[in-house]
Structure 1
Amino acid sequence: MSEAIWITFAFTLGLLVKGVGLPPLVGYLAAGFVLSGLSGFTPLVVEDTDVLSHIAHLGVLLLLFTVGLKLKLKSVVSPEVIGGSLLHFGITCLVFTPGIHYLAGLDWTTALLLAVALSFSSTVLAAKVLEGKRELRAFHGRVAIGILIMQDLIALVVMSLAAGKTPSEWALLIFGLPLLRPFLYRLLDASGHDELLVLLGLLLALVIGGLGFEAVGLSSELGALIFGAMLANHPRSQELSKSLWSVKEIFLVGFFLQIGIGGLPDTNALIFALVTALILPLKGILFFFLLLLFRLRARSSFLSSLSLTNYSEFGLIVASVALPEWLIPLAIAVSLSFLLSAPLNRLAHPIYERLASRLAPLESRNHHPDEQPISLGDTRVLVMGMGRTGTAAYDRLREDEPRLMGLDSDPAKAQKHSDEGRNVVFADAEDTTFWEGLHMPHLEAVILAMNDIEGKVIAARMLRKKGFTGYVIAHTGYADEAEKIRDAGADDAFLTMSETGVALASHLNDQRHPVPGSAA
């Protein structure tokens, strides 16, 4: 019965929140607090919360596993990720600890643990927002995820110290996990494309990664993340991620419901949460200037920082171990940060467009690997977005067009294409500073093959704004999106599935009615 109530409230409030332009997860949080308030009238509302807690935990594990599937470990081992995360953690604790001690009148140990809990950013929210915008592999997305991973590792150390537990000697076995990669690759190859693929993901994320790591005294979250990362370089890693998408989304609803059902706050808890909400912008500002210090451009720094401007569910986990009496105030603080962060991240690109003229002068003059080209040289045909569709278009065009270039917002992917002999460079179509400095004197045609509709619309609009009069074509999965792309300036936008059907029919006709004199 309680499950039916949870589902009903989550769907209703999620739908209402989505109707006003906010992510549904904000509605799930609200549903949790409403259910907590109703618990005094009917105990059915909060029955079997252990079940909900278990579902929530599974959702977090699956999310971290799918994040790992999209993670290139070399993107974590970089100065901006390691230095940015450690400096932010140190500065936050150094500033927040005395502030909490003197303003709230708490002892130094409690103040320090609260500062630690507030220093983390939400892996669940940031990964979900970046994934929803298909920016996990963009440079700023990978920087944000890398910092979150570092924070999660710090949180695991803090929890171990606070709980007074140490990993067992069997934990040393994790250093041998890379030896399992060939075996895992074979399992993934042998799993096919149906339910066995889903079961393999659940096995690795929840059983081997989750329960396996817990059995040796390590975090199950870390285990899920590591096993996902071990498969990140496999050609079918993204297929595995997509196969787990629905299961992960359903379980994550339980995570957000659980936060709210935890209990309604008293006055002191509300005051604490409101104060933390007021100082939340300082968290993002600190991240922004630290990333500038590591020579990132203003846009990359801004987008990464905005993704990290929230409080973390890991703060709640730390509190459950070390500060149980502060769990509800921290839960309200985390919830308020989600309410503020989610809509801001949804509007991240338009916000930066408005602030670009003020933020760009703060950039370092030294170049960073996220630097983008300022000229297309003698390029006549440009392919923007080098995924499967863009790569297929590029390979077909280069048979007849030597002056061809591809752009992609993932530096690692651009480098991979370059190593394979394609003329592909890193560039982000949604970056206004890229367009402002771009020269394209010989460009005649552009293919927009990025994954997200927002990138195609911005690219089409910016091309026309710069006076480009050549042919612009795009693909998309939906008729309403095709109309938006055309309105932004594209000459045409084809529906991917429709064009696939047309191509299949054309191949069939060629076989049934071959042109006289052609090969059969």
Structure 2
Amino acid sequence: MIEAVWITFAFGLGMGVKLVGLPPLIGYLAAGFAIVAAGDMAGIEVEGTEALSHIAHLGVLLLLFTVGLKLKVRNLVKPEVIGGGVMHFGISILLFTPAIHWIMGLEWMTALMLGIALSFSSTVLAAKVLESKRELRAFHGRVAIGILIVQDLLALLVMALASGKTPSVWALLVFGIPLLRPLFYKLLDISGHEELLVLLGLLLALVIGGKGFELVGLSSELGALAFGALLANHRRAGELSSSLWSIKEVFLVGFFLQIGMGGLPDADALVFAIVMGLVLPLKGILFFFLLLLFKLRARSAFLSGLSLTNYSEFGLIVASIVLPEWLVPLAIAVSVSFLVSAPLYRAAHPLYDRLGTYLTRFEREGFHPDEQPLSLGEAEILVIGMGRTGTAAYDHLVPRNIPMVAVDSDPAKVDAHAKAGRNVVFADAEDVQLWKNLKAPKLKHVILAASDVEAKVTAARQLRQAGFEGVIVAHSMFADHADAITKAGADHTYQTMAETGVGLAEHIFTAVKKREEGTA
């Protein structure tokens, strides 16, 4: 039973790399290679089956659908997104193609196709690492995902030209999909909170979006992303995304296994992959300077560029169409880039803290689209993170008439709160430079309500290092996270579920008191 082998190797190596502080997906990649190696040692030919390929494809569709649920189309129509994506694509091809032609002695057309395949970054990996750090909605996360979508559209165009296939005339129906948004909104409203909600997500991502687009000659990946984006403004988009989380994560294990099981490389393929791994930093450096060209701050350019410093699974798809003999070398190169990129982004914020002073020298003068506040003015209370918890805390404190300000790293969320009359500004709590430059002469209390534990730890530590002596309170779902936040400098870190229980218990006495007052 080959499925038992997949699960055993994936769990074993995934757990192994997790214990040493690396992302489990590296273990899943290693598991793919280990399965093939074990098969060779046992004299058994091991290949990725059609079932694994199908599972991997479903995982990619679900990932793109959930990315779409968090995507606002207006975020794509930005100079740094379109300009950065297209310019990086063009410059990468101009650099890769002649280098491959002259160094490897390949024909110009083969060199061009390899250059195109290597110019893309991985949507799956970037979305995965950004999502794991809850940074998909942060400014740098939005820029990275926007650039990836631009790249994906370019990749689809290349594949269409390379394969010689053209979309069906029925593909024009795609332009009418937005007219069905009220219907899909209604279905989402009445689908409840249990299995019907999950089935609706699967129907839209895999059937209508994925298979539907495929039937009219378009990419199923584009369809899944489009249907996610169609529902992005619905109030239950986040709940739908959460309901699909575990299914998506399990299916994506198949994606990483499949890459690893692409086959053990020969010496030439290994040398090619190592060389591509050595030039990988150039990809991130090019992204960094292009984004600075569009006036992003060095930190946003660095984080966006680092998340895009990898090679793409779309490169493998391009190779399978026009360069099948290069599929294994490219698969190894993609795997190497994943092994480098995933742990590197895990340390992205500490890495920038070390390099930030040097990198900021390259920033352009003038207004930056990711500008952060330099002063909190007269505010006595600061709320960090304006999700449900932060918003509830903010609204609860409003009647006390205490000067207050809130910050969030999601520009769209900041705009929504500003329209609702709340004093919310854009800022990233994990940005050490923010805390070093921020002036808050009247600040007395801080509420850490950000969704990411690292943001809360960084904010608490930096506030204390800056000499802040006021009260810092936070919440956390897990005891170990609560300990880390408290050690970083918080006075109290409440466990969310425990506090919910306490609140429910207190409501008993509130209800009793109201009854007694009503009968008096």
Calculate the TM-score normalised by the size of structure 2.
Answer: 0.98
Higher mean C-alpha displacement, 261-270 vs 43-52: 43-52
- Aligned pairs for 1:149-164 (under 5 A) are 149-164=149-164
Specify the alignment match of 2:476 in structure 1. Answer: 476
Residue 30 of structure 2 corresponds to residue 23 of structure 1: no
How much is the aligned-residue C-alpha RMSD, in angstroms? Answer: 1.4
Specify the alignment match of 1:127 in structure 2. Answer: 127
Shift of 1:44: 7.1
Residue 482 of structure 2 corresponds to residue 467 of structure 1: no
Shift of 1:404: 1.2
Q: Deviations over 1:335-374 (max 9, x none)?
A: 0000001110000000000001101121111112210010
Residue 511 of structure 2 corresponds to residue 511 of structure 1: yes
- Secondary structure of the equivalent of 1:165? coil
Shift of 1:514: 5.0
- The answer to whether the 8 Å contact 1:2/1:47 transfers is no
- The answer to whether the 8 Å contact 1:37/1:264 transfers is yes
- The answer to whether the 8 Å contact 2:121/2:311 transfers is yes
> In the aligned structure 2, how far is the partner of 1:135 from the partner of 1:251?
22
Specify the alignment match of 2:214 in structure 1. Answer: 214
> In the aligned structure 1, how far is the partner of 2:119 from the partner of 2:425?
36
Specify the alignment match of 2:116 in structure 1. Answer: 116
Q: Deviations over 1:160-183 (max 9, x none)?
A: 000001101111111111111111
Q: Deviations over 1:469-513 (max 9, x none)?
A: 111100111112111111111111111111110010000122235
Specify the alignment match of 1:396 in structure 2. Answer: 396
- Aligned pairs for 1:279-298 (under 5 A) are 279-298=279-298
Amino acid at match of 1:501: G
- Aligned pairs for 1:77-88 (under 5 A) are 77-88=77-88
> In the aligned structure 1, how far is the partner of 2:329 from the partner of 2:519?
75
> In the aligned structure 1, how far is the partner of 2:240 from the partner of 2:44?
37
- Secondary structure of the equivalent of 1:473? strand
- Aligned pairs for 1:148-297 (under 5 A) are 148-297=148-297
> In the aligned structure 2, how far is the partner of 1:153 from the partner of 1:519?
67
Amino acid at match of 1:407: V
- Secondary structure of the equivalent of 1:292? helix
Shift of 1:464: 1.1
Amino acid at match of 1:363: E
- The answer to whether the 8 Å contact 1:450/1:456 transfers is yes
Amino acid at match of 1:462: Q
> In the aligned structure 1, how far is the partner of 2:517 from the partner of 2:23?
59
> In the aligned structure 2, how far is the partner of 1:47 from the partner of 1:463?
53
Q: Deviations over 1:126-154 (max 9, x none)?
A: 00000000000000000000000000000
Name the CA shift for 1:209/1:344 in 2 (closer, same or farther; >3 Å): same
Shift of 1:76: 1.0
Amino acid at match of 1:273: A
Specify the alignment match of 2:344 in structure 1. Answer: 344
Name the CA shift for 1:515/1:340 in 2 (closer, same or farther; >3 Å): same
> In the aligned structure 1, how far is the partner of 2:108 from the partner of 2:187?
51
- Aligned pairs for 1:353-392 (under 5 A) are 353-392=353-392
Shift of 1:19: 1.1
Shift of 1:43: 7.9
> In the aligned structure 2, how far is the partner of 1:338 from the partner of 1:449?
32
Task: Could you list the structure 1 runs, at least 4 aligned residues long, displaced by more than 6 angstroms after superposition.
Answer: none
Name the CA shift for 1:5/1:319 in 2 (closer, same or farther; >3 Å): same
- Secondary structure of the equivalent of 1:406? strand
Amino acid at match of 2:321: V
- Secondary structure of the equivalent of 1:46? coil
Shift of 1:422: 0.5
- The answer to whether the 8 Å contact 2:47/2:261 transfers is no
- The answer to whether the 8 Å contact 1:81/1:147 transfers is yes
> In the aligned structure 1, how far is the partner of 2:514 from the partner of 2:444?
33
Name the CA shift for 1:165/1:515 in 2 (closer, same or farther; >3 Å): closer
Shift of 1:21: 1.1
Name the CA shift for 1:224/1:406 in 2 (closer, same or farther; >3 Å): same
Specify the alignment match of 1:427 in structure 2. Answer: 427
Name the CA shift for 1:21/1:393 in 2 (closer, same or farther; >3 Å): same
Q: Deviations over 1:388-408 (max 9, x none)?
A: 000000001011124111110
Shift of 1:517: 5.3
Number of matched residues? 520
**Identity value in percent:** 68
> In the aligned structure 2, how far is the partner of 1:379 from the partner of 1:432?
20
> In the aligned structure 2, how far is the partner of 1:514 from the partner of 1:241?
39
Amino acid at match of 1:208: I
- The answer to whether the 8 Å contact 2:55/2:251 transfers is yes
Shift of 1:322: 1.1
Residue 32 of structure 2 corresponds to residue 32 of structure 1: yes
Amino acid at match of 2:266: D
> In the aligned structure 2, how far is the partner of 1:463 from the partner of 1:505?
34
Specify the alignment match of 2:14 in structure 1. Answer: 14
Specify the alignment match of 1:447 in structure 2. Answer: 447
Shift of 1:38: 2.7
Shift of 1:41: 5.3
Calculate the TM-score normalised by the size of structure 1.
Answer: 0.98
> In the aligned structure 1, how far is the partner of 2:232 from the partner of 2:48?
36
> In the aligned structure 2, how far is the partner of 1:374 from the partner of 1:519?
55
- Secondary structure of the equivalent of 2:154? helix
Amino acid at match of 2:32: G
> In the aligned structure 1, how far is the partner of 2:513 from the partner of 2:422?
36
> In the aligned structure 1, how far is the partner of 2:240 from the partner of 2:265?
40
Shift of 1:34: 1.3
> In the aligned structure 1, how far is the partner of 2:195 from the partner of 2:312?
33
- Secondary structure of the equivalent of 2:400? coil
- The answer to whether the 8 Å contact 1:76/1:146 transfers is yes
Specify the alignment match of 1:49 in structure 2. Answer: 49
Shift of 1:35: 1.2
Q: Deviations over 1:73-117 (max 9, x none)?
A: 111110000000100000010111011001111111110000000
- The answer to whether the 8 Å contact 1:2/1:45 transfers is no
Please, which runs of 5 or more residues in structure 2 have no aligned partner? none
- Secondary structure of the equivalent of 1:95? helix
Amino acid at match of 1:453: V
- The answer to whether the 8 Å contact 1:123/1:312 transfers is yes
> In the aligned structure 2, how far is the partner of 1:509 from the partner of 1:25?
49
> In the aligned structure 1, how far is the partner of 2:316 from the partner of 2:410?
33
- The answer to whether the 8 Å contact 2:48/2:258 transfers is no
Name the CA shift for 1:53/1:471 in 2 (closer, same or farther; >3 Å): same
